[in-house]
Amino acid sequence: MNKLAKIGMAGWTIFCFVGSCAGMVNVANSKHGGVLSGAESLGAGLGLFIWLLIWAVPVVALGMIALITKPKTAPVPQQPPAMLCANCGRYYTGTARFCPLCGGQQIAR
Q: What's the predicted TM-score (pTM) here?
A: 0.47
* 7 and 40 inside one domain: yes
Which amino acid belongs to residue 101?
A: L
Q: What would the pLDDT profile of 53-73 be if each residue is shown by its tens digit?
A: 888 888 888 888 888 888 888
* 93 and 56 inside one domain: no
Q: Which domain holds residue 14?
A: 2-68
**C-alpha distances out from residue 4 to 12, 33, 37, 66, Å:** 12, 43, 43, 8
What stretch of H or E contains 72?
A: none
**What's the structural domain count of the chain?**
2
Q: Residue 109: pLDDT band by 50, 70, 90 thresholds? A: low
* 85 and 35 inside one domain: no
The arithmetic mean of pLDDT across residues 74-98, rounded, is 82
85 exposure class (CB count in 10 Å sphere: 0-12, 13-18, 19+): buried
* 35 and 53 inside one domain: yes
* 64 and 86 inside one domain: no
In the predicted model, is pLDDT for residue 100 greater than 60? yes
* 62 and 80 inside one domain: no
* 29 and 10 inside one domain: yes
* 36 and 86 inside one domain: no
The pLDDT of residue 12 is: 86
The pLDDT of residue 108 is: 64
